[in-house]
Amino acid sequence: MITIVTDRQLPQAEMGLWIKAQQAVDAKNYKYAVSILRTLIKKAPGFLAGRKVLRACEVKVTPDAGRRSSLFSGVRLTTTRKDPETVLVTIEDELERDPYSISANETLYAAACDLNLPDMAAFALETICQGQPNPKKHLHMLANHYIKHEQFSEAAETYRRVLQIDRTDPIAMRGEKDCAARASMKQGNWEGSGDFRTKMKNKNATADLESGDKMGLTRAEMETRLAQLSEQYAADNTSLPVVKDIASIYEQMEDYGNSYSFYAYAYQLSGEADMALNDKAMEMHEKAMQAELAYYEQVLAADPTNAEAAANLAARKKEIALTVVADAKARVEANPTDAQLQFKYGQALFDAEEYSEAIPALQRARNNPNLRIKAMLMLGKCYASKNMIDMAIRQLDEANNELLNMDDTKKEILYMIGELCDKAGNKEKALENYKAIYEVDYGYRDVAHKVESAYS
């Protein structure tokens, strides 16, 4: 297993190479230094300091470093997935040709993450950022990486670099503030022992917090409460009630990223026994990602002709959909008999356009009386997306027959049946379904036009 090593931990032979490389650098013989350091990294792939010097030397001897990455960004030079330990060595062949290569550094980042080498992973992203004229995307990746590993000071600084590029970036604006606050908290006595009540400046504050109403607070009151909770957290960061309260306050403030972090930590503190906390964490995770998508959609709405923004939004939607699927799958695997989790898993798969995989999860959820109609509607959508029109209509007809009240769900089902019948050429049945909605809700979507045009 590869681990990060320092120069003092190098074996004698590798230490000799390191000394020669330093001498070559001092003599500004960078090409010779590269050849020595390449040999050294093959022998000691966990020697991060040597890898950093290697990269700096490669930049010196590659006049067009970075320009190649700009021309071929997004092109994968590595075509096969290799063992991450092998990648740490072989990827240097590509990086010697272009040390700022986006694809090669992203491959190094992925391998380092797989090997739990966060410092090396951060170095790979940092290299990309140094070589690009507008590294905003990878700076966000780097900030998220630092947050994941609780390096809040580094994350805050990374967000500041984003703001130097785009002062209006709301994620960076919020992230810089939150990470700076969490870094400050972490520098305090978070690891202190003893009864936190003895560490409060005002002993009555504990009782005030415990008896205070958590709901219906103004923004200012929530910020005050969060500051008070932060003092408790600084005194004892393993207090489950305090961590839960912090998560709840962040949720009410609609800071879903921080809320997710604290709910997830609360779940860990519960010994991973309180599934309600895990559910809450996953809910906040999804809301945080949806908030991010909403921002990108606003950017695109402001400039609909921005093809790059549209492509980035589509790619991010796919990434988030797959993340939601992974979260939902983990929850199902932990509790496979929970119909609600099966439904959410099926819904996540549908959103990720994995229709065939969604069907069995939704079929299992359909067996639950409380989820039956919703699951049948989603199944109809899956069949329709696979162009299985007859099966979609049959499933939706069954759901419609089981619904007695004309609520929003029944209207959606009737409208979808109408659309599918139109597509199948059955205009008569399509009109019957549109008319059923028209009779109770004239303003629903475009049913008025559909029905009235049939009589003209």
Q: Taking the model in full, what pTM does it have?
A: 0.48
- Mean pLDDT across 65-90: 58
CB 122 within 8 A of CB 142: yes
Q: Which two tokens stand for residue 446?
A: 């475009």
> How many domains, in total, are found in the chain?
3
For residue 12, pLDDT over 50 is answered with yes
Structural domain includes residue 59: yes
Average pLDDT taken over every residue of the chain: 84
pLDDT band at 185 (very low <50, low <70, confident <90, very high): low
Interacting residues of 80 by C-beta distance below 8 A, sequence separation 6+: none
Q: Which two tokens stand for residue 319?
A: 């990434």
Of 260, 277, 302, the residue at which a domain comes to its end is: 302
Structural domain includes residue 293: yes
Q: pLDDT for 257-301, tens place per residue?
A: 888 888 888 888 888 788 788 778 878 888 888 887 787 788 788
Of 91, 115, 133, the residue at which a domain comes to its end is: 133
pLDDT of residue 325: 86
CATH number for the domain spanning 230: value is 1.25.40
Of 302, 330, 353, the residue at which a domain comes to its end is: 302
Helices (H), 212-255: 219-235, 240-252
In a shared domain, residues 129 and 234: no
pLDDT of residue 196: 40
Nearest to 410 by CA among 452, 450, 380, 453: 380
For residue 224, pLDDT over 50 is answered with yes
Nearest to 107 by CA among 90, 119, 131: 90
**Of the given ranges (73-77, 106-110, 359-363), which has the lowest mean pLDDT?**
73-77
Can you give the residue range of the structural domain that contains 33? 1-133
Structural domain includes residue 220: yes
pLDDT band at 443 (very low <50, low <70, confident <90, very high): very high
For residue 41, pLDDT over 90 is answered with yes
Tokens 């709840």 identify what position?
Answer: 248
Helices (H), 132-274: 136-148, 152-165, 170-187, 204-211, 219-235, 240-252, 256-269
- Mean pLDDT across 149-156: 88
Cα–Cα distance, 456 to 446 (Å, whole number): 16
- Mean pLDDT across 79-93: 78
